[in-house]
Structure 1
């Protein structure tokens, strides 16, 4: 498929529209979270520069929010990876290769 961003996988399969929509939706979510993180980082930096006790204590909550956002991005990418592997496995059933990729990455809690 010409112009297909997934055509370079070299597995000779087509990714269905549902998977592509899932990828697009997830990437929009990731971009939104990253935009929010940029704003949080800017606010954290400004608070740090003032060295005012109230601003510095507020940074603790902002940093927690930033860390939670980073976890959400990691989870979204992990889910995307699993979706891709599942789609590839489903489309290559009956393939004589038989090699399977891991479906879920285990992260320390």
Structure 2
């Protein structure tokens, strides 16, 4: 049976992925950073759930004061959505940086491996 270049490439890729996985699994600092970020996101999302419930209750009550309160609640929701976007952006950046450092790539140099 002849060597299949695609199969060999897939084996190498799978081996590389397994090495990366082992390196990340063994780095508690990386996981602690991700855990902290996801907990921050979850906290904001939980707050948004409460805000949405309040907005719905105020809307259903049709009480003018409650409708006015909804303006501030919706503004807070909007700000929280921006926070979630920012947190995910930071998380993505941190992941990318960690990945490039683990592979010896220099993200400032277009992902080209560092010399040395």
Normalization by structure 2: what TM-score? 0.69
Instruction: For residue 80 of structure 1, report the CA deviation from its aligned partner.
Output: 0.6
Q: Distance in 2 between matches of 1:11 and 1:68?
A: 40
| Greater C-alpha Rg | 2
Structural RMSD (CA): 2.2
1:21 maps to which of 32, 39, 42: 32
Give the match for residue 64 of structure 2: 53
Contact 1:19–1:83 (CA under 8 A) maintained in structure 2:
no
Normalization by structure 1: what TM-score? 0.74
Structure 1's 94 and 86: CA in aligned 2 closer, same or farther, altered over 3 A?
closer
Instruction: For residue 61 of structure 1, report the CA deviation from its aligned partner.
Output: 0.2
Instruction: For residue 94 of structure 1, report the CA deviation from its aligned partner.
Output: 5.5
Give the match for residue 90 of structure 1: 101
In the comparison of the two structures, how many residue pairs are matched? 90
Q: Distance in 1 between matches of 2:100 and 2:86?
A: 21
Identify the structure with the greater helix proportion.
2
Q: Distance in 1 between matches of 2:79 and 2:18?
A: 36
Instruction: For residue 55 of structure 1, report the CA deviation from its aligned partner.
Output: 0.6
Moved over 4 A (4+): none
Structure 2 spans left out of the alignment, 5+ residues: 1-15, 112-116
Structure 1 spans left out of the alignment, 5+ residues: 1-8, 101-109
Ranked by relative contact order (alpha carbons within 8 Å, sequence separation 6 or more), the top structure is 1
